Amino acid sequence: MQNNLLIFGSKNFNNSLNEIKEYLNFSLVFYNKNTFSDLSISSINLILIDDDVCNDLEILALINKIKNKPILYLVKHKSAINSKLVYTEMSLLPLRLSEFLTKITKLITSSKFNSNSSLMINEYIIDKNERKLKRNNSSITITEREIQLIELLFNEKKPLSKNFILKRVWKYSDDADTHTIETHIYRLRKKILNKFNDENFITNSQAGYSI
């Protein structure tokens, strides 16, 4: 799937990008005030900013409202850096094309990795890299299986039966049965209760387990 770049640039900057777009392995989406409200930010993988547009306070405010997207800020000289702009990485122009492409690829890859490695569940955060369930400044260590179980319960948005969980998480392995699920959920509930004093993270009803 091709990555999409949202460009906030001057006319000259945008024209320069259009001249080299055949060498780029991503799509360019140029900021347009009249159509911006119709743009799906979720489809954007990186934001590219030309320092010439940062004196426009309306654009500056708009950029700073965009969350969870990597921002590459290109400036012609250090004195032009706008201290009010929130960005991920800044680079001085001119840039070789290969260096430009490498920077964009690294930023997008890093952003996707970070996005996939954490999950917000109500007031909790699952950190998949550290294998921790966090809330505020506290955390507990959880297993890979517990992560899969929590994700499944959260993503399905409905109570799940033991057999459904067994099929999706344990893949009907030879050493698993419905008692395995009960044991895992009991242990997970106990850890959450002891650390966070939360008895309702995973609930149970006649329809099954849910978050």
SS3 32: coil
Starting at the edge strand found earlier in the chain, the sheet holding 124-127 runs 118-121, 124-127, 132-135, 138-141
State yes or no: pLDDT of 129 exceeds 90. no
Q: What is the pLDDT of residue 155?
A: 85
- What is the Cα–Cα distance from 87 to 116, expressed in whole angstroms? 21
pLDDT digits (tens, 9 = 90+) for 30-85: 999 998 988 888 889 999 999 999 989 999 999 998 887 999 999 999 988 999 99
Cβ-proximal residues to 154 (8 Å cutoff; 6+ apart), any chain: 119, 121, 211
Interstrand relation of 71-75 and 46-50 (parallel, antiparallel or unpaired): parallel
Flag the least confident range among 132-146, 162-176, 181-195: 162-176
Query: What is the pLDDT, as a whole number, of residue 112?
Result: 83
pLDDT band at residue 126 under the 50/70/90 scheme: very high
Confidence of residue 2 (pLDDT cuts 50, 70, 90): confident
How do beta strands 208-210 and 203-205 pair?
A: antiparallel
Mean pLDDT estimate for the chain: 91
pLDDT value for 179: 85
More confident residue, 154 or 174: 154
Mean pLDDT of 117-136: 89
Question: Distance between CA 166 and CA 117 in Å, rounded?
Answer: 24
Query: For the domain bounded by 3-116, which CATH number is listed?
Result: 3.40.50.2300
**Cα 98–chain centre separation:** 26
CATH, range 118-210:
1.10.10.10
Domain ranges of the chain: 3-116, 118-210
Tokens of 152: 């499944």
Token couple for 73: 């800020």
